[in-house]
Amino acid sequence: MQPSEMTVGDLIDRLSTCDRTAPLRMAMNPFFPMAHRAAQVVEARDEAGRPVVYLAEGRDADSQFGHLPPEVAVALTWQAPVQVPPRRPRRTVGGK
């Protein structure tokens, strides 16, 4: 069984609750999460002739913003939440 694909309608429904002035970015590669600028929407046909819509990143050098913010990777379940380890007291110069 194939996983169900998000449809254009699903995406529109999810985006309808978002701030319309917020920039749209794409999260890529769960194993090395990066943020990319969405630049184009292209409608095409798949191998069976069904309509498919592609979101594409830009071609400019600044289309990749860099690493995905950790809280976004956690929300996508691409990374587990990380807690900062507790601090241990430092040893003194004399080793005591």
The reported pTM is 0.68
Residue 58 is classified by DSSP as -
Tokens of 85: 């380890």
Residue 42, pLDDT score: 95
Domain ranges of the chain: 23-75
Q: Do 26 and 58 touch, CB atoms closer than 8 A?
A: no
Cα-Cα-Cα-Cα dihedral sign, residues 90, 83, 37, 23: negative
Comparing C-alpha atoms, which of 94, 2, 78 is closest to residue 34? 78
Residue 1, pLDDT score: 43
Burial of 68 (0-12, 13-18, 19+ CB in 10 A): buried
Residue 90, pLDDT score: 79
To the nearest 10°, the Cα dihedral for 7, 34, 69, 64? -100
Chunked into runs of 10 residues, the chain (96 residues) has average pLDDT values of: 80 94 92 92 95 92 90 92 81 70
Residue 96, pLDDT score: 58
Strands (E), 1-96: 25-28, 34-45, 51-57, 64-67
